[in-house]
Amino acid sequence: MQVEIKIEVSCTEPRVIIETAAMTEEIHTLLRKLSDDMPQLISGSRDDKIEVLDPADLIRIYTGAGKVFAVTDSGEYTLRLRLYELEERLDSRRFVRISHSEIINLKKVSHFDLSFTGTICVKLSDGSTAYVSRRYVSKIKKILGI
């Protein structure tokens, strides 16, 4: 994608024009981000209290026993949103889905272990381990540039 910015002194309000041959998923994602109708904050419950979670504090989000959980340095929270809704809300440059049931924060990854054949082991900043499912291995390799 090419990006061009023109500084026009007489311009009173920013205007975005997208030139494309067809509507692609990339264009839809861009439109969602530009419309900014999705709040970036996420609420999670723990000990009968609801807390507002900053996405930058999230380490991983996963499903288990029919619920969605978010892990931060301060603990684990239950979320009311579905995983696909969180994937739409969160910054795709920072958060990536690694399996049908898990999203990780790339800024909270300690390292990737590629020694396992056919899969990738992810060590996170809190010491936990997650595994990239075969379906998402090529996506992760593309992100890592390998």
Rounded (5°) CA angle 58-130-93 = 50
Between 29-38, 101-110, 122-131, 137-146, the lowest mean confidence (pLDDT) is in 29-38
Report which residue type is found at 69: F
Tell me whether residue 86 is in a domain. Answer: yes
Would you state the pLDDT for residue 15? 82
Range of the domain at 75: 42-144
Q: In whole angstroms, what is the distance from residue 142 CA to residue 123 CA? A: 18
- Give the pLDDT mean for 122-142: 92
* CATH code of the domain in which 54 resides: 2.40.50.1020
Q: Which two tokens stand for residue 101?
A: 């049931």
Q: Residue 91 — φ and ψ, nearest 5°? A: -65, 120
Cβ burial of 43 (10 Å; 0-12, 13-18, 19+) is middle
pTM of the shown model: 0.72
CA dihedral 134, 71, 41, 135 (to 10 degrees): 0
Tell me whether residue 112 is in a domain. Answer: yes
Domain count, the chain: 1
pLDDT digits (tens, 9 = 90+) for 1-16: 787 888 888 888 888 8
Tell me whether residue 87 is in a domain. Answer: yes
